[in-house]
């Protein structure tokens, strides 16, 4: 939803008769009598061809009739007479925006703000244009300034929440989403955006409730139907999800991500996609009208479908196109992958968490059996291992939690520290470390209720194994491994929302080797045993490996582990559909189908 306005229609006039005529124009305009309003303006211009307000009002009338080119011509003539009128710039910007001429819209909104810096509506309008241009970071200060000027500004809260959600700043997105819903409880858009943010926090039940409320307010809202379908997939309610996805496409046949979801369901055997639907997916991609994110997701869906049909060459073409668009998305978000930064982060982690560090903190950690950490490269089997273990009584699979990183950042937020993370961990005393551990355990108990084990399976927590062992004296860590070519190819074919290095084969190979370098270090210095699970061995020997996992976690064996696909827990990860199926081995050695395309990956892994 965008906040659109025309601003005030006139300014002070020096000629009484013209002023009276323009006042009559406004009355006609607001009553919808556009021809009468236009006729009066034309008579004014016959007497005074450069009368700026009459020119502007003719632009407003054309704008109201959706004749944006004509509106632009009149607004431009008005500005030629009176360049310093903010309202003229605002309405010209809105007309440019309506035609998709966003850079020109942005320029005139910025000019208006130079003339009227304390106008919150204009700030939000500019921020909306920057958002559409993909400059999400650039939009943030304008939304925030609008809220400083007018704290209860609904459009600013709503749109800021949308941008923060897209940037992955979920707690802030939820906060602004809740404020938007409070300010306008009749806004279906606000409920849908807040529901999406709550879903990103793992609160799938709440997310579904918000989407259903959005549909009560606006039954034909396509985005609410789609968001509801996505949340239902996470709960394993596939038939209902398909119904809402199909309704999305009935309402909006060009909704690319809805086709992408159907494609994903089809790949994993949950839906039979029709020939006409597949053709429509290709048509949308060739049309060139899809937003960047929608086009990227649709390319990934088509790639997966072609892969399933063994059309590997065509599949790789679509996968590559999807990843190239993904690189641009990350760049616009300010999240482009930087190899040097990544390498420095590994170096700093290794330097901080050495044998001396663990010698100092060995008695600081809390003695708790509650947390279980599952780490590894994405697509290495972390979700499968979680699904197996969470099939045991008393075990909660909490998913990919962001809580550990928030807890580790806590000291820096509460006090000014001389060093950054991870270096400041070297200076943490017993009280601080125990406080951090207690904070994390409190969060786990809120998620897991009466569970005796709660699994945090964020793969990239392998960065934080040093901190984990400092916080928890008997930390249980499970490390998932998989053939590097298979795991990297699987990442490349996956439509990740946050793993920026996965969009380029060279970066994937680089990151895999850096991950291996860090894991070698952890094996040398960690004061606890790490249970290593090799994906290929797990697939070949499900029961013995599952028994090993249960024993490592201090749990009694239960044959329910072997029927992990019947586990009804909510799954939000990239493997949410795979783990609903019995174990299969078709993904082992998958890279061989694409060997001729993987030279950049081979070279990066060799380095």
3-state DSSP assignment of residue 483: coil
Strands (E), 426-536: 453-456, 476-481, 530-534
Q: Set out the domains of the chain in order of their start, with CATH numbers.
A: 253-336 (no CATH), 340-579 (3.40.50.300)
Cα 603 from Cα 330, distance rounded (Å): 24
Angle in degrees, CA 355, 360, 364, rounded to 5:
120
Residue 61's pLDDT band (cuts 50, 70, 90)? confident
User: Which tokens is 281 given?
Assistant: 């997916």
Q: What is the mean pLDDT of the chain?
A: 89
Which range (22-26, 393-397, 409-413) has the least confidence?
A: 22-26
User: Half-sphere exposure of residue 588, counting CA atoms within 13 Å on the CB side?
Assistant: 13
Burial of 246 (0-12, 13-18, 19+ CB in 10 A): middle
Q: What percent of the chain has pLDDT over 70?
A: 93
**Nearest in space to 581 (alpha carbons), one of 597, 596, 593, 563:** 563
Residue 13's pLDDT band (cuts 50, 70, 90)? very low
Helix axes 120-132, 86-98, angle to 10 degrees: 30
Per-residue pLDDT tens for 189-206?
A: 999 999 999 998 878 899
Cα 490 from Cα 379, distance rounded (Å): 6
User: Residue 86 in contact with residue 116, Cβ under 8 Å?
Assistant: yes
Residues 6+ positions from 377 with CB-CB distance below 8 Å:
459, 480, 482, 487, 491, 512, 515
User: Which tokens is 400 given?
Assistant: 């990919």
Q: How far is CA 537 from CA 544, 545, 571, in A?
A: 10, 8, 23
Per-residue pLDDT tens for 334-343?
A: 889 999 999 9
Angle in degrees, CA 32, 37, 42, rounded to 5:
155
Q: What is the mean pLDDT of residues 474-484?
A: 96
Cα 300 from Cα 216, distance rounded (Å): 32
Rg, the chain, Cα only: 28
Give the pLDDT of residue 571: 52
Per-residue pLDDT tens for 293-309?
A: 899 999 999 999 999 99
Per-residue pLDDT tens for 81-112?
A: 999 999 999 999 999 999 989 999 999 999 99
Beta-carbon count within 10 A of 484 CB? 19
Give the pLDDT of residue 14: 40
Cα 400 from Cα 504, distance rounded (Å): 23
- The pLDDT of residue 53 is above 90: no
User: Residue 399 in contact with residue 202, Cβ under 8 Å?
Assistant: yes
Strand partners, 396: 454
Cα 526 from Cα 538, distance rounded (Å): 24
Cα 212 from Cα 215, distance rounded (Å): 5
Residue 226's pLDDT band (cuts 50, 70, 90)? very high
**Residue that the structure tokens 């089997």 belong to:** 381
Per-residue pLDDT tens for 545-588?
A: 999 999 999 999 988 888 777 655 455 555 445 544 556 678 89
Burial of 36 (0-12, 13-18, 19+ CB in 10 A): middle
Give the pLDDT of residue 257: 92
H or E segment at 119? none
Per-residue pLDDT tens for 341-390?
A: 999 999 999 999 999 999 999 899 999 999 999 999 999 999 999 999 99
State residue 477 phi and psi, 5-degree precision.
Answer: -125, 125
User: Residue 111 in contact with residue 89, Cβ under 8 Å?
Assistant: yes
Q: In this structure, are strands 453-456 and 530-534 parallel, antiparallel, or unpaired?
A: unpaired
Beta-carbon count within 10 A of 388 CB? 28
Residue 7's pLDDT band (cuts 50, 70, 90)? very low
- The pLDDT of residue 10 is above 60: no
């Amino acid at each position: 939803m965008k906040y659109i306005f025309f601003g005030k229609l006139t300014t002070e006039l020096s000629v009484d008769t013209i002023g009276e005529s323009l006042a009559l124009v406004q009355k006609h305009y607001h009553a919808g009598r556009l021809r009468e309003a236009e006729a009066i303006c034309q008579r004014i211009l016959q007497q005074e061809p450069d009368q700026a307000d009459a020119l502007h009002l003719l632009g407003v009338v054309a704008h109201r009739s959706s004749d944006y080119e004509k509106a632009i011509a009149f607004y431009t003539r008005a500005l030629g007479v009176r360049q310093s009128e903010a309202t003229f710039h605002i309405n010209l910007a809105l007309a440019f925006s309506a035609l998709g001429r966003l850079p020109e819209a942005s320029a005139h909104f910025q000019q208006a703000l130079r003339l009227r810096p304390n106008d919150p509506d204009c700030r939000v309008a500019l921020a909306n244009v920057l958002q559409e241009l993909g400059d999400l970071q650039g939009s943030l200060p304008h939304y925030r300034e609008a809220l400083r000027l007018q704290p209860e500004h609904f459009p600013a809260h709503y749109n800021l929440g949308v941008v923060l959600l897209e940037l992955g700043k979920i707690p802030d997105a939820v906060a602004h989403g809740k404020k938007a819903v409070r300010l306008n409880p009749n806004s279906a858009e606000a409920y849908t955006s807040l529901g999406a943010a709550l879903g990103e926090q793992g609160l799938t039940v709440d997310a579904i409730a918000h989407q259903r409320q959005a549909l009560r307010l606006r039954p034909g809202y396509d985005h609410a139907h789609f968001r509801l379908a996505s949340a239902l997939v996470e709960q394993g309610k596939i038939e209902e999800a398909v119904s809402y996805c199909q309704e999305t496409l009935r309402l909006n046949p060009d909704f690319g991500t809805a086709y992408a979801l159907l494609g994903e369901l089809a790949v994993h055997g949950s839906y039979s996609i029709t020939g006409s639907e597949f053709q429509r997916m290709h048509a949308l991609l060739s049309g060139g009208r899809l937003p960047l994110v929608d086009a990227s997701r649709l390319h990934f869906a088509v790639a997966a479908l072609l892969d399933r049909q063994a059309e590997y060459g065509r599949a790789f073409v679509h996968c590559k196109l999807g990843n190239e668009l993904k690189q641009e998305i990350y760049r616009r978000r300010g999240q482009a992958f930087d190899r040097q930064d990544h390498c420095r982060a590994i170096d700093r982690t290794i330097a901080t968490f050495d044998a001396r560090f663990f010698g100092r903190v060995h008695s600081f950690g809390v003695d708790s059996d509650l947390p279980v950490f599952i780490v590894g490269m994405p697509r290495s089997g972390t979700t499968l291992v979680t699904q197996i273990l969470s099939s045991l009584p008393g075990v909660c699979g909490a998913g990919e939690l962001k809580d550990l990183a928030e807890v580790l950042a806590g000291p820096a937020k509460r006090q000014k520290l001389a060093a950054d993370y991870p270096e400041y961990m070297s200076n943490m005393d017993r009280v601080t470390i125990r406080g951090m551990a207690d904070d994390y355990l409190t969060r786990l108990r809120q998620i897991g209720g009466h569970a005796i084990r709660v699994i945090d399976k964020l793969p990239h927590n392998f960065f934080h194994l040093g901190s984990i062992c400092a916080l928890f004296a008997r930390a249980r860590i499970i490390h998932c491994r998989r053939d590097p070519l298979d795991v990297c190819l699987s990442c490349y074919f996956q439509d990740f929302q946050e793993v920026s290095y996965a969009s380029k084969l060279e970066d994937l190979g680089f990151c895999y080797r850096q991950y291996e370098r860090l894991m070698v270090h952890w094996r040398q210095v960690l004061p606890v045993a790490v249970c290593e699970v090799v994906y290929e061995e797990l697939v070949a020997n499900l029961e013995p490996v599952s028994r090993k996992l249960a024993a490592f976690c201090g749990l009694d064996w239960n044959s329910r582990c072997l029927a992990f696909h019947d586990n009804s827990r909510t799954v939000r990860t990239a493997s949410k559909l795979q783990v609903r199926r019995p174990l299969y081995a078709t993904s082992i050695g998958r890279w061989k189908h694409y060997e001729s395309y993987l030279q950049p990956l081979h070279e990066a892994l060799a380095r």
